Amino acid sequence: MRSWILVLVGVAVSAGALFVVLRSVDLEETGRLVASANLPILSLTLVVVAVQIVLRTARWGVLLRPFAPRRLHLWRLAPLLLIGYLGNAVLPARLGEPIRAVLVNRREGVPLPEALGAVFLERLVDVATLGLVAFAAAAVAGAPAWVVQIAAIAALVGTGLVVLFAVGSPSAVVGAARRLPVARRRDAYGRSLDRVARFVGALGHAHPVSSIGIAVAVSSVAWVLDATTFWLVGRSLGIDLHFGAAVLVAAVAVLGTAIPSAPGYVGTFELAAASVAVALGVPESAALGLALVAHGATVLPPAVGGALSLVGTGASLRQVATEAAHTR
């Protein structure tokens, strides 16, 4: 029942986002713009996305290494990462993240709590670095105040949580909070803290600072490549988007995917990307075209790779999704 509620909420959010972004756009003009895209330039996005996947696989391996019983090979981890991306594209509630934790537990013997912790830490590092990159780009591009504020909040929250992982186990922090007198009450606060403690307890131990440092560095490069994808898409559509603006549009678009939505971030991605592009001076129809093509360029290739990886590994997406849902 709970899963159906999440699906319905996500679909409603996506429908609302699409309504907002489409209500004042000339769809015929957007269609003409997308149809006239320069395919040689657009094809370069496949190379950029492939490099990103290699970097993100290597980062995942670094975070998993302290808990792996044997050496982790890039060529074995990459299909699991791609299956996770496929899960995010076709399943609700970002189930692709726990799916790859389940798969790396099965295939590489990494304990499930530590596998979940590594995936969670990845997302925190991504938010922190993306927020910092977006904040710097917003300041340089002279973006509207609401864009700067979103980037600043993401950077502060993400950085604070990453520091928590770097200096000690989050489980220890929650354990200390549970020893407070107020935590012994059986009111809403006490029950909420119990739920948080159970969740954090599944995240495993503190990660080495060196691993987190490498993850931050790799994430920074990956986000620059993500912005390169948006810049190339803009060039293919004839949109005059300088690289700093592409960084900002890409960053806010990715932050928009954190909002609960239908599978594949439909609607929320387009609304976030198009809104920032319009705020930076891109015409509305062109901004929507940029968002649509960039969405396809960043989501479809990894999803196709995930589908091929499912065949290659013999895994069942339904089975691992069911198992992953039980980890939440």
Task: Determine the residue type at 279.
Answer: A
Q: Which residues contact 180 (CB under 8 A, 6 or more apart)?
A: none
pLDDT at 192 over 90: no
74-121: per-residue pLDDT in tens? 999 999 999 999 999 998 878 899 999 999 999 999 988 888 888 988
Between 104 and 190, the higher pLDDT residue: 104
The whole-angstrom separation of Cα 80 and Cα 166 is 26
Q: Are 117 and 98 in contact (CB under 8 A)?
A: no
Q: Are 104 and 82 in contact (CB under 8 A)?
A: no
pLDDT-based confidence at residue 178 (cuts at 50, 70, 90): low
252-285: per-residue pLDDT in tens? 899 888 887 888 899 999 999 999 999 999 999 9
23-35: per-residue pLDDT in tens? 989 999 999 999 9
Which sequence spans correspond to the domains of the chain?
A: 2-169+204-325
56-73: per-residue pLDDT in tens? 999 999 999 988 999 999
The model carries a pTM of: 0.88
The whole-angstrom separation of Cα 165 and Cα 167 is 6
pLDDT-based confidence at residue 202 (cuts at 50, 70, 90): very low
Q: Are 89 and 307 in contact (CB under 8 A)?
A: no
